[in-house]
């Protein structure tokens, strides 16, 4: 925009302007993990999962207060399944952000675009972007003492097929699943790594129904793990 209101945060991310509809906090909550079937328990820790309702166009930010890392397993019928590094009972906190909806309050600031449509009011909490992190390792992302969460932009995923054998035109094998896991701690440090965390025995499969990568030993998305760090302090 060439003129009008712009509000930038301390991380140099544009928070509010007078031209675009804004991304706001819609809801938040906590979920408790259930045992993930076929998870590898040694030498890696046990793994759990939760399902979180997520509508099209919404963004899911995650933080595990116990330090466990998470990965996104996929969305099925409006339920985003999150896999968690931790035994059953592990807690994950989440924040769901999405397109602006008026809060309905009758005081504070309201912002309208050129068409007279309300695009922000001070009864809503905006998405506060701190930075984007890409790769694997440990990164400094936020100031200590701030509560932050991670939105997954993309993650590396791979499958490894072992002991592939065809007997009487049926396939038997072991399928290992690896994905990028991440979390951010109370000191603003982000840890990201690929973890092989499930081993699923596959049996009596039709070889003609399987992609070529089963026979060739596996598949890899070849994507870098990438996350948006958002500040949810006092949210």
List the chain domain ranges: 6-127
> In angstroms, rounded to a whole number, what is the distance separating the alpha carbons of residues 56 and 58?
6
Each residue of 162-220: pLDDT tens digit?
888 888 888 888 888 899 999 999 899 999 999 988 888 888 889 888 889 888 899 99
With contact defined as beta carbons under 8 Å apart, do 67 and 49 qualify?
no
Each residue of 33-67: pLDDT tens digit?
998 887 776 555 689 999 999 999 999 999 999 88
pTM for this prediction = 0.82
Each residue of 117-143: pLDDT tens digit?
777 777 688 899 999 999 999 999 888
Mind giving me the DSSP string for 74-135?
EEETTEEEEEEES-TT-EEEEEEEEE------SSS-EEE-TTS-EEEETTSPBP-EEEEEES
Q: Which runs of consecutive H residues, i.e. helices, occur in 129-223? A: 212-216
With contact defined as beta carbons under 8 Å apart, do 88 and 34 qualify?
yes
Over the Cα atoms of the chain, what is R_g?
A: 21
Find the helix or strand (DSSP H, E) in which 38 lies: none
> In angstroms, rounded to a whole number, what is the distance separating the alpha carbons of residues 11 and 142?
9
Tokens of 38: 């076929």
> In angstroms, rounded to a whole number, what is the distance separating the alpha carbons of residues 84 and 106?
41
């Amino acid at each position: 925009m060439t003129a009008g209101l712009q509000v930038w945060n301390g991380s140099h991310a544009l928070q509010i302007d007078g031209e675009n509809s804004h991304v706001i906090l819609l809801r938040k909550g906590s979920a408790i993990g259930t045992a993930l079937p076929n998870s590898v328990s040694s030498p890696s820790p046990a793994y759990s999962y939760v399902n979180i309702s997520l509508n099209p166009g919404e963004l899911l930010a995650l933080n595990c207060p116990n330090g466990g890392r998470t990965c996104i397993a996929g969305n099925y019928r409006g339920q985003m399944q999150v896999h968690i590094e931790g035994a059953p009972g592990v807690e994950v906190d989440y924040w769901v952000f999405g397109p602006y909806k008026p809060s309905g309050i009758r005081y504070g600031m309201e912002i309208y675009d050129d068409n007279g449509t309300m695009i922000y009011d001070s009864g809503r909490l905006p998405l506060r972007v701190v930075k984007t992190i890409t790769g694997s390792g440990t990164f400094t992302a936020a100031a200590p003492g701030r509560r932050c969460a991670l939105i997954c932009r993309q993650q590396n995923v791979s499958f490894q097929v072992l002991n592939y054998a065809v007997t009487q035109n049926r396939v038997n094998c072991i399928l290992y699943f690896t994905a990028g896991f991440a979390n951010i701690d109370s000191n603003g440090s982000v840890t990201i790594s690929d973890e092989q965390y499930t081993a699923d025995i596959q049996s009596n499969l039709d070889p003609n129904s399987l992609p070529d990568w089963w026979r060739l030993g596996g598949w890899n998305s070849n994507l870098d793990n990438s996350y948006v760090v958002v500040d949810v302090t006092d949210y």
